[in-house]
Structure 1
Amino acid sequence: MATTSASKANLRNYALVTLAYWGFTITDGALRMLVLLYFYEIGYSPLEVAMLFLFYEIFGIITNFLGGWIGSQMGLKVTLYAGIGLQIFALIMLSFLNRDWAQWVAVGYVMVSQALSGIAKDLTKMSTKSAIRLVVPQDAQSSLFKWVAILTGSKNALKGVGFFVGAALLELFGFVPSLWIMAIGLFAILFTGLLLPKGMGKIKTKVKFTQLFSKSREINILSAARFFLFGSRDVWFVVGLPVFLRGRLGWSFYEVGGFLAIWVIGYGIVQSLAPMLLKRFGSGRPPQASTIQFWTFTLTAIPAAIAIALQSGASPNAVIIIGLMIFGIVFAFNSAVHSYLVLAFTDDDKVALNVGFYYMANSAGRLAGTVLSGLIYQLFGIVGCLWAATFLVLAAAVISLKLPDPKPSRAIAWKSEGGD
């Protein structure tokens, strides 16, 4: 009876955490597209657009570094809903931007609002993914892989929805009304926090500052690979690709937002299906070190192939659409296995600290990719961005060769249930 009650409570907590993350994710994707398209349209260069997101990524790094410690001391419920509240404040703040301000003032104002949004995003993400580890028993790694896959895959699908929502809101309502619409929607989600238990993820002992640096060799290696993996995606996807579609190919707001939305939705679907597909076509075991090595080395060839095709004079529309579809499928498997491994290498009492450290590396990779995306596109175009992506993902693949397999005791049930 107690087991049944605990299972129902865990399922309820999982649903609440996922709902909060879904709502946040839609606004996060919409805000990214809204800012990118709006400021490019009013005359900002690709590099200037990229710099608007600089503080978003920098403060994401800081948040992931400190967020795990905050979550372990105050509880994941506090950090989760603090993130949502901060996003509401960032949206409202940005709505007061005045186009008559001097450009350096406007840029600084946007960067500060994006810094708050970056803190909000990584507080929410760290809290959500840590909470999933706590509602799945240590010996049920099959469920862990499956539940993380559903959460992460659905998150990415909804981020794609957010891209389209942002572009559509900009087209239909304009910049400022769009921000208020999103803020009101998030405000409604805040009330779900009343149903979560207090103290989730909170530990009784004090954590020293030196413990914020991961001492696990596996987490350190995985984090380094994550840095280069996500840098390889964002170096061409974040600024270079949408600017290329809008500026060089002449796509409309709807077309740019819709295409990127469909890509991210498809990427999320593949990520959610990764456990089932790996079980059916793989060995039936939970992902091992060789799993991430295979998928990362496979990914290396794709941006290089897209770059070569564009340089050879092939139709850019066809090359980008087909190439991005293939890239998304392979990248989704990489990300799903990564999201599982960071939890498989982590004990319950260190989950917030290790997940925070790991996603600090993720944010650092996004920062490098975002800045390089604007800079390299301005200097060398989309082809330059693609070659940079090739070298970054190759670095991730080489680093992953040093990963060990997760301990068998943490993966004993995956074979029977399937597998983020």
Structure 2
Amino acid sequence: MDIKKYIAVTASYWSFTLTDGALRMLVLLYFHNIGYTPIQLSLLFMLYEFCGVITNITGGYLAKRFGLNKTLFTGIFLQIVALTLLFNLNNTWPQLYSLVYVIIAQGISGIAKDLTKVSAKSAIKTVVSDENKNRRLFKLVSFLTGSKNTLKGIGFFLGSFLLSLVGYKVTLSIFIFFLLLLLIFSLISLRNYSGIVKKKVKFSKIFSKSNSINILSVSRVFLFGARDIWFVVGIPIYFYEKLDWSFTEVGSFMASWIVFYGIVQSFAPKLLKMFYGDNFSENDQAFFWSIKLFLMMSCLGFLSHTYDYNSYLICIGLFIFAFVFAINSSIHSYLILALTKKSDVTLDVGFYYMANATGRLVGCLISGFSYQVAGLMGCLFFTSFFLFFCSLFSYFLKKN
């Protein structure tokens, strides 16, 4: 693959991610402000995550069948459609009708996000030469994933800030215009790039035959489910309701967390080299760092309950979580590309991120339910529960 094409794919993915992060905070804060309950808020993201599951499992197949550029173009176009639907929401509609309407719009956005992600993540494998490929692949994956999350964090702040500054509809108008420019840029710069296309691909090939990839994927379900249990609804609504933070303050915290997480991801290879030298095993580290994450979150839940949910303790604890989670996530993102064949990269990456989206879907649903029933303590408890199983399957991967 031409490195210039890879840069164009990455730039498109970055730009898309900025609007996707902004949209998440915009939807969460706006609809909470007009009276939606935590469970209703989690339902808004339910179809978004469910469509991510379906898109990842089929997106790799479609990318291999029609080309990475086609899936990227389609993803950007569908995001424009989703934002246009949200722009046309009418506050005079009955709440049930509005809820279903927004869920459908969010579902389209979920398809859009994961079509672009499969395209960008799969493109990495095509630019790595065989010489020193493992370390180079780890660095490229960490950079792309870390920079993506940093931009998503900036998007979180941008969405909440613009909501406070210019309101819901003007913010959506800005993002629609930006995405139209991005689509034009992508169509021009990537019209001749399709990646590794194979016209005749059996649909059954979308399911991985590799035992290692299957174990890694299950571990990924629990890793990202654990994060989203507190991240999607619990913490933002807790800060807004219980601590009386403004939209901008909530968005700033979420943005800072994501940016910090993204920065740590970008430097994960250097950090692991600094901690362990050159001779570390990524399989071993996936297990060790998941255990650290489980112990850390269990301690945070206990201390938060003991000290009456002190806001400073919670914020500091969640940033420590971000550091450990970022290392773990980077190792996972490297392993999926290291374990797959170059000819099957879109299929295996799609299958793996289907597992990622499954975890996010389950975490999203538990987030709203656990917060409404048991408050923040419920979110932290379920997070620790999921991290235990993430560690268990990481151990199986280590042995495998």
TM-score bracket, normalised by the shorter chain, equals over 0.9
Question: Does structure 1 residue 326 correspond to structure 2 residue 341?
Answer: no
CA distance in 2, matches of 1:62, 1:360: 7
CA distance in 1, matches of 2:353, 2:169: 31
Percent identical pairs in the alignment equals: 48
Deviation (angstroms), 1:321: 1.0
Determine if contact 1:131/1:200 at 8 Å carries over to the other structure.
no
Question: Does structure 1 residue 235 correspond to structure 2 residue 220?
Answer: no
Determine if contact 1:64/1:122 at 8 Å carries over to the other structure.
yes
Deviation (angstroms), 1:404: 4.8
Determine if contact 2:66/2:199 at 8 Å carries over to the other structure.
no
Root-mean-square deviation (CA, aligned residues, Å) is 1.4
TM-score (norm 1): 0.92
* 2:392 alignment partner AA: V
Change (3 A) 1:143 1:405: farther
Please name the residue that 2:129 is paired with: 137
Please name the residue that 1:29 is paired with: 21
Structure 1 spans left out of the alignment, 5+ residues? 1-5, 407-420
* 1:340 alignment partner AA: Y
Please name the residue that 1:373 is paired with: 367
Structure 2 counterpart of 1:207, from 193, 201, 213 = 201
Question: Does structure 1 residue 181 correspond to structure 2 residue 181?
Answer: no
- Residues 101-142 of structure 1: CA deviation (Å, up to 9, x unaligned): 011110011011000000000001111000111111244222
Question: Does structure 1 residue 160 correspond to structure 2 residue 159?
Answer: no
Change (3 A) 1:113 1:287: farther
Structure 2 counterpart of 1:296, from 272, 279, 290 = 290
Deviation (angstroms), 1:403: 1.4
CA distance in 1, matches of 2:44, 2:87: 15
Deviation (angstroms), 1:76: 0.5
Determine if contact 2:5/2:193 at 8 Å carries over to the other structure.
no
Please name the residue that 1:93 is paired with: 85
Deviation (angstroms), 1:285: 3.5
CA distance in 2, matches of 1:286, 1:348: 24
Paired residues, number: 398
Structure 2 spans left out of the alignment, 5+ residues? none
Please name the residue that 2:341 is paired with: 347
Determine if contact 1:29/1:159 at 8 Å carries over to the other structure.
yes
Please name the residue that 1:45 is paired with: 37
Question: Does structure 1 residue 120 correspond to structure 2 residue 112?
Answer: yes
Determine if contact 2:147/2:262 at 8 Å carries over to the other structure.
yes
- Residues 145-167 of structure 1: CA deviation (Å, up to 9, x unaligned): 11111110000011100110010
Change (3 A) 1:346 1:294: same
Please name the residue that 2:11 is paired with: 19
3-state SS, counterpart of residue 126 of structure 2: helix
Segment drifting more, 27-36 vs 395-404: 395-404
Please name the residue that 2:301 is paired with: 307
3-state SS, counterpart of residue 206 of structure 1: coil
TM-score (norm 2): 0.97
CA distance in 1, matches of 2:280, 2:170: 46
CA distance in 2, matches of 1:199, 1:49: 39
3-state SS, counterpart of residue 264 of structure 1: helix
Please name the residue that 1:108 is paired with: 100
CA distance in 1, matches of 2:38, 2:276: 42
Deviation (angstroms), 1:314: 4.5
